[in-house]
Chains A and B, each alone.
Chain A
Amino acid sequence: MLKLNDVSVTFNEGTPDEKRALNNINLELEKGEFVTVIGSNGAGKSTLMNIISGVLIPDVGDVYINGEQVVHLPEYKRSKYIGRVFQDPMAGTAPSMTIEENLAMAYSRNKKRKLKLGVTKQRKELFKQYLSTLNLGLENRLTAKVGLLSGGERQALSLLMSTFTEPDILLLDEHTAALDPSRAELITDLTEKVVRESGLTTLMVTHNMQQALDLGSRLIMMDKGQIIFDVSGKEKEKLTIQDLLQEFQRIRGEQFGDDRAVLT
């Protein structure tokens, strides 16, 4: 479904600020796999997401989606296959447009946009059904401007917008990190539910180790631009936070250095 071959990215090459953000990354995701990604700040997690979505082009290496080389496809073309939710709850929706208009834009993600109405009667009904799965009452506020929603509501809407068209790949980059704990839990639950029900191939970055353990079928740990640990299946199920920290120390010979890592 998704395959990265020897991908490397260096920022500001040849300057004193040179930074190797990804170093020979090899990664392959099977269809329907749900992978959680952890790693300290600056490990290259967001860069990895940006390489897959086409925001960044790697210096070397290939990216395949459904067996097709996409490394030279611009971001907007790759978006046909990829659903994304960003960390910033404001980033995934258009604030001065209505809920139904936002959903209509997302509805067109994997189709060609045409000169016909984006919001139709039929689509409204469809949108209502989808919105009711969020249990936030948004199905009664189709014509409300999205800018009026709370951060949690907007992130739930973003999640819905990026998933209801069932993308080949779903990328979530710390999409609960900017929310308060109860909202974060709501979004986590919704994520778990939608990924399970639609069987989406998912890559989810989180700084919450417990979340990384609880969710998904596979876990990878990144550090200094490399994937240093990769477990799945039964082995992952048995894993505890303590194991993760020990594993990191064994591989790197140093403490897992991230104040933000939530150990609970």
Chain B
Amino acid sequence: MFISLFGAVESGIIYAIMALGVYLTFRVLDFPDLTVEGSFVTGAAVAAFSIINGIPPIIATLLAAVAGFIAGCITGVLHTKGKINSLLAGILMMTALYSINLRIMGQPTLSLLNETTLFGQLEEMWKSIGLDSMLNGILSALGLEQLPSTWAVLIIMVFITFAIKILTDYYLKTEVGLALRAIGDNKKMIRSLSANTDSLIIVGVGFSNALVALAGGLIAQLGGFSDVNMGLGLIVIGLASIIIGEALFGTKTVVRATLAVILGAVIYRIIVTLALRVDFLETGDMKLITAVIVVAALVTPKIIQSRREKRRRIWKRQQLRTGGDGHA
């Protein structure tokens, strides 16, 4: 139980980078970008292909992000210059990327099991610090028997993900970033304030997909393989993370919203892990579970809201009938 939850948090913190990317398009730019399902795999494919061909894992991981950036920019160009509807532009790019990803990998699946990955290297460095035995010592003192084999991935990924979050927060507060946010809020206004909305959208969608592909490259190295279908249903996972996070932690400021997205991604992984422990559910049901989570997260606040409204009206009516002034 503890081990599978540990694994959930570990991959959740990586998927959080993907969710931040989805947040940038869906929420900040108001651009429902489906490129993500393809660019995630592109990231995985580029990282795997590069590592197998002897490129240092850190460079391979950065190349993954670059590939995602290019893919996103193309979607942005299709939408702004080609005047293609944003959803369709993303779907077109996602479809095209499927073939491109196959080309990159040369086969549907690439294994990294015999390669040194970024995490492999980090674990080696980590071991020399000796924090694992200390942390595991605490856990076994708490009575846990199965202990995680390494803390390296979790702790280092927390640092990386939060570094990305802080950079994103800063970017969204710069002069350029403010204009980017205004695109999703009031495009007519920001154009009248001399912002080139087309190029902002292109760069914004590019940046979003860079994060998604980075996550893809890391997940491939964590799991030890890249598969051409590993992006399937990813957009819903990203949305689920955002919606769960926003519902639990709010969106008052950018800093808060991006934190919410990260926590949402981790909580989503935990929910899925717990759901899969239910006897009659199988791994293949994961997508269905995800869809149900998103629907629940979307519908519940509305139900609560309308309940509250209804109660307020009933209360107000009673107040009027009993001659109260309507203010308690």
Contacts and interface: CB of A to CB of B under 8 A. Distances in A.
Contacts of B139: none
A77 B191 CA distance: 9
Given A97-B185, A115-B171, A117-B173, A76 B191 contact: yes
Interface string B179-200: 1011001101111111111000
21 contacts: A53-B192, A76-B194, A76-B197, A77-B196, A79-B194, A90-B186, A91-B186, A92-B192, A93-B189, A97-B182, A97-B185, A101-B178, A108-B178, A110-B194, A113-B195, A115-B171, A116-B175, A118-B175, A119-B173, A161-B193, A162-B192
Interface of B is mostly: helix
Interface string A68-99: 00000001110110101010001111111100
A76 B178 CA distance: 16
Given A92-B192, A94-B182, 20 more contacts: A53-B192, A75-B192, A76-B191, A76-B194, A76-B197, A79-B194, A82-B192, A84-B192, A86-B188, A93-B186, A93-B189, A94-B181, A94-B189, A104-B175, A106-B193, A108-B175, A113-B176, A115-B174, A117-B170, A118-B174
A109 interface: yes
Interface of B: 170-171, 173-179, 181-182, 185-186, 188-197
Contacts of B176: 113-115
A75 B188 CA distance: 10
A115 B178 CA distance: 10
B175 A76 contact: no
B176 to A, nearest CB: 5
A105 interface: yes
Contacts of B197: 76
Interface residues of A, number: 33
B177 A118 contact: yes
A90 B190 CA distance: 13
B188 A91 contact: yes
Interface string A136-152: 00000000000000000
Contacts of A115: 171, 174-176
A114 B195 CA distance: 12
Contacts of B196: 76-77
Contacts of B173: 117-119
B192 A79 contact: yes
A84 B189 CA distance: 9
B191 A79 contact: yes
Given A105-B179, A119-B173, A95 B185 contact: yes
A113 B191 contact: no
Contacts of A105: 175, 178-179, 182, 190, 193, 195
A141 B195 CA distance: 26
B191 to A, nearest CB: 5
A90 B189 CA distance: 9
Contacts of A76: 191, 194-197
Which of B177, B188, B189 has most A Cβ within 10 Å?
B189
B55 to A, nearest CB: 29
B264 to A, nearest CB: 19
Nearest to A90: B186
Contacts of B194: 76-77, 79-80, 108-110
Contacts of A92: 189, 192
Interface in A198-238: none
B298 to A, nearest CB: 19
Which of B175, B191, B194 has most A Cβ within 10 Å?
B194
A104 B176 CA distance: 11
Contact of A114 (B174, B182, B191): B174
Given A93-B186, A94-B181, A97-B185, A116 B192 contact: no
Nearest to B180: A113
Contacts of A82: 192
B175 A114 contact: yes
A91 B179 contact: no
Nearest to B190: A105
Contact of A113 (B171, B179, B186, B192): B179
B89 to A, nearest CB: 21
| A-B CB proximity, top 7 nearest | A79-B194, A94-B185, A113-B175, A118-B178, A94-B186, A94-B182, A118-B175
Contact of A75 (B178, B181, B191): B191
A91 B189 contact: yes
A250 B185 CA distance: 48
B145 to A, nearest CB: 49
Contacts of A104: 175, 178
B230 to A, nearest CB: 33
Which of A77, A82, A117 has most B Cβ within 10 Å?
A117
B174 A109 contact: no
A95 B186 contact: yes
Nearest to B177: A118
A80 B196 CA distance: 11
A106 to B, nearest CB: 6
Which of A82, A93, A101 has most B Cβ within 10 Å?
A101
